[in-house]
Amino acid sequence: MADDSEDAPSHVGRDAVWSTVGILMSGGAQFLLSAIVGNAGGPALLGAVRGALSLANTASLAWPSAAGQSASLFVARERSAGREASADFAERHLVVRAMQAALVLAPVSGAVSVVLFGFGLADAAWVGALVLALAGYQVARGVRFGRSRVREATVWEVVNAALTLGLLGVVLVVGAPGWVLAPLVVGNGLYALGVLVRLPRSGEREPALAREMDQFVAWGVAGTIASTGLMQLSMVLTKAVLGDDQAGWYAAAVSLATPLSMVARALSMALFPEMARQQGRGDAEATRAITDRATRGLFFVMTPGFAALALVAEPLAHLIYRDAFAPAVLPLRILLLAVWLGTVVTAAVNSINVRGRGGVRFSAGLSWAGFVVGLGLMAVLLPVWGVAGVAIAYLAGVATTGGTALVHVWRRDGHAWLFAVAVSLIAGGAVAAAVVTLPALSSWTWSLVAVAVLCVVWVAAWALLRQRERR
């Protein structure tokens, strides 16, 4: 209980640092996996691997992913209220439910991979094993964050990343492409094992709490499938409809567009339990303050970060993936805009979800609105514009969900975000114009000059904002 007595800002800050390290290790491993596989086997192998991973991730959204997020909420909430037995029951209930769901989802996912991707039985079996490993990983991570064991979670992320990349190297060196999913299964499975082997086994069942958690997870599933699922399904559909090569281009674009979002994911993993603690204490003002500080920080850091990536996208794609992946540049720049928007609204979305079933229902509704918009546009644009059409459709879906969530929290809590939003939009427009009109950005020299100009202007704009706030 010592952690709960800490001052909220210092508690969140420390957890955010450890969480950032863990997410950087996890996301870094995913990025290196894509880069290594893409360079070793070309677009076709990368498309097949990322298609399988996206299918497994999509399956885990059907319960395990939401169960993991719920564990970080309910375990933290019960511990904050001094109900340790209830926290133990919450952990046990959510972990068991997640793994029960995974046992059903694993064979279904394997069968789907045979139908959609033409996989053989061995590859389908690896897809099923990956579903089980990812389910265990997601719920174990939620438990660790709910119990304020963020440092422990980070250590296991390091082990997971090192083991995954080490085994991948072995697989590629011995020339066994049929085993390329095995490192992901082993790494994520080991991460989960650290929680599963010490799962609380004592204590009475609490039907009311179990019912509340099941309902929360069910609504979380609805929202998570629609939000996170849109990215995963975009990869699955690209692989199924456009084939391995174009799926490889899209996978390369995704791998380069998403690393910066890891910072927001790490912040979210630290924010959500802390917001739950403040909600458990009935301190709405503390939750509002956390949301405000986090959102301002995300705009300040993420806007120039994603804008810089858009400016160097062409030379960066060539450096990491070489000439075979040149068609990935356009979808990469579109996805950068989408991922930026999904990143800066992280704290706002958390502040909605933390308000119990009403909040998660509202969030699920927003996610489904974006999902319908994105999937509908994919059906129209994918056959016409290929991977660029998929990226545009994904952007439209994220804009629908994330933009609405940001405006809702902005108005609900009376935040003063106008200047941050306006400056970010102006910066985005300037970068888009530069990308379209300046072919010199294909070189490292001029793209880095553009990044330097961007940084100077951005710092000046935010200095003006700080001056205005002090008045």
Q: Are 247 and 239 in contact (CB under 8 A)?
A: yes
Largest Cα separation within the chain, whole Å, is: 67
Local confidence band at 143 (pLDDT 50, 70, 90 cut-offs)? very high
Highest mean pLDDT among 120-134, 185-199, 224-238, 251-265: 120-134
Q: Structurally, how many domains does the chain consist of?
A: 1
Radius of gyration of the CA atoms of the chain, in A: 22
* pLDDT for position 396: 96
Q: Are 81 and 4 in contact (CB under 8 A)?
A: no
Q: Are 306 and 432 in contact (CB under 8 A)?
A: no
pLDDT of 4 above 60: no
* pLDDT for position 2: 38
Domain range for residue 313?
Answer: 2-470
Amino acid at 102: A
Structure-model confidence comparison of residues 366 and 274, the more confident one: 366
Q: Smallest Cα–Cα separation from 48: which of 178, 165, 172, 138? A: 178
Local confidence band at 445 (pLDDT 50, 70, 90 cut-offs)? very high
Q: Counting beta carbons within 10 angstroms of the beta carbon of residue 69, is it exposed (0 to 12), middle (13 to 18) or buried (19 or more)?
A: buried
- pLDDT tens for residues 289-306? 888 888 988 898 899 999
- pLDDT tens for residues 195-235? 888 888 766 788 999 999 999 898 888 877 887 889 989 99
* pLDDT for position 80: 80
Three-class HEC string of the chain: CHHHHCCHHHHHHHHHHHHHHHHHHHHHHHHHHHHHHHHHHHHHHHHHHHHHHHHHHHHHCCCHHHHHHHHHHHHHHHHHCCCHHHHHHHHHHHHHHHHHHHHHHHHHHHHHHHHHHCCCHHHHHHHHHHHHHHHHHHHHHHHHHHCCCHHHHHHHHHHHHHHHHHHHHHHHHCCCHHHCCHHHHHHHHHHHHHHHCCCCCCCCCCHHHHHHHHHHHHHHHHHHHHHHHHHHHHHHHHHHHHCHHHHHHHHHHHHHHCCCHHHHHHHHHHHHHHHHHHHHCCCHHHHHHHHHHHHHHHHHHHHHHHHHHHHCHHHHHHHHHCHHHHHHHHHHHHHHHHHHHHHHCHHHHHHHHCCHHHHHHHHHHHHHHHHHHHHHHHHHHHHHHHHHHHHHHHHHHHHHHHHHHHHHHHHHHCCCCHHHHHHHHHHHHHHHHHHHHCHHHHCHHHHHHHHHHHHHHHHHHHHHHHHHHHC
Q: Are 345 and 291 in contact (CB under 8 A)?
A: no
Indicate whether this model's pTM tops 0.85. no
- pLDDT tens for residues 404-442? 999 999 999 889 888 889 889 999 999 999 998 988 888
Average the pLDDT over 317-325 and give the result.
90
